[in-house]
Chains A and B, each alone.
Chain A
Amino acid sequence: MTDSVAGISGMIIEKLLANPKVPRDIDGNSKIVEDLAFDSLAVMNFVMEIEDELDVSVPLDKLADIRTINDLAACLHTLKVAHA
Chain B
Amino acid sequence: MIEFFDDHLQAVLWAGFALGIAYGAAAQWSRFCLYRGLVNHWQKGDSVKLHAFMLAMAIALLTSQALQAFSGIDLTNTHYHQRSPSWPLLIGGGVLFGYGMHLANACGARSLVLLGSGNLRSLMVLLVLGISAYITMSGLLAQFRLDLETMTQSRLPVTSIDGLLAMTGLSPVSAKILTLIIFAGALLFTALKSAGLRNAFTDLIASVVIGILVATGWWITGVLGADDFDPVRLASLTFVAPIGETLQFTMLSSGMTLSFAVVVVLGVILGSFIRAILSGEFSWQSYDSPKQMQRSIIGAVLMGVGGVLSLGCTLGQGISGFSTLAISSLAALLGILIGARFALWVDSH
A and B assemble together: no
